[in-house]
Amino acid sequence: MVFTAGVLTLSDKGALGEREDTAGPLIKEALQKEGFDVVAYRILPDDYEEILVVLVDWVDRKGIDLIVTTGGTGLSPRDVTPEATKAAIEKEVPGIAEAIRMEGMKHTPYAMLTRGIAGIRRQSLIINLPGSPKAVEESLGVILPVLNHALEKIKGSPKECARN
């Protein structure tokens, strides 16, 4: 089954056109390579309401299966992506965010500073990645292999979990 995906870049500078978004396109390309049909991509400022509205719309109206956000997961006052995601989801999937931080720690101790989360809204999965392209590459490496199976389980597939 081909799942749909949406990529949401959260960046004040990106939204103002002050810096080219290279993180979002990186995610888009990686998801397409993984077999996803990327049907949505947007850049938003670090605005809680705007982020929440898009997350809800992309799941509830567009029925997008997977939403990957990048940016706004740090400690600065404007970083609100985790809070907006928390408001959008019904069930958290802590293991995905933990795996992202664990992988990140292999590359930089600063990886502990991403507050990103992951969770389920209806039958869709929302995952927060940090904003830098380097962080995106490092994070995608660890989560891409599980995304299709995760979505099959979310949608109630009786498929057995991998027995490695």
Ligand X SMILES: Nc1nc2c(c(=O)[nH]1)N[C@H]1C(S)=C(S)[C@@H](COP(=O)(O)O)O[C@H]1N2
**In the complex, which residues of this chain contact ligand ATP (CB under 6 A)?**
9, 11-14, 21-24, 46, 70-71, 74, 131-133
Handedness of CA 132, 12, 58, 102 (dihedral sign): positive
Q: Does 117 participate in binding ligand X (rule CB under 6 A)?
A: no
Task: Tell me the closest approach of the beta carbon of residue 14 to ligand ATP, in angstroms.
Answer: 5
Q: Of 70, 66, 65, 64, which Cα lies nearest the Cα of 100?
A: 70
What 3-state DSSP class applies to 4? strand
Q: Of 70, 85, 86, 82, which Cα lies nearest the Cα of 22?
A: 70
Q: Does 85 participate in binding ligand X (rule CB under 6 A)?
A: no
* Count of residues that interact with ligand X, criterion CB under 6 A: 19
Nearer to ligand ATP, 27 or 96 (CB): 27
CA 74 to chain centre: 14
| Options 53-61, 85-93, 111-119, 152-160: segment touching ligand X (CB under 6 A) | 111-119
Binds 153: which of ligand X, ligand ATP, none (CB < 5-8 Å by kind): none
Q: Does 6 participate in binding ligand X (rule CB under 6 A)?
A: no
Q: Of 10, 44, 12, which Cα lies nearest the Cα of 130?
A: 10
Binds 21: which of ligand ATP, ligand X, none (CB < 5-8 Å by kind): ligand ATP
Q: Can you give the C-alpha Rg of the chain in angstroms?
A: 15
Q: Does 139 participate in binding ligand X (rule CB under 6 A)?
A: yes
- Stretch 23-52 residues interacting with ligand X (CB under 6 A): none
- Please identify which residue in the block is written with the tokens 């049907």: 39
How many whole angstroms separate alpha carbon 97 and alpha carbon 41? 21
Residues of this chain that interact with ligand X (CB under 6 A) are 71-74, 79, 104, 107-108, 110-111, 113-114, 130-132, 134-135, 138-139
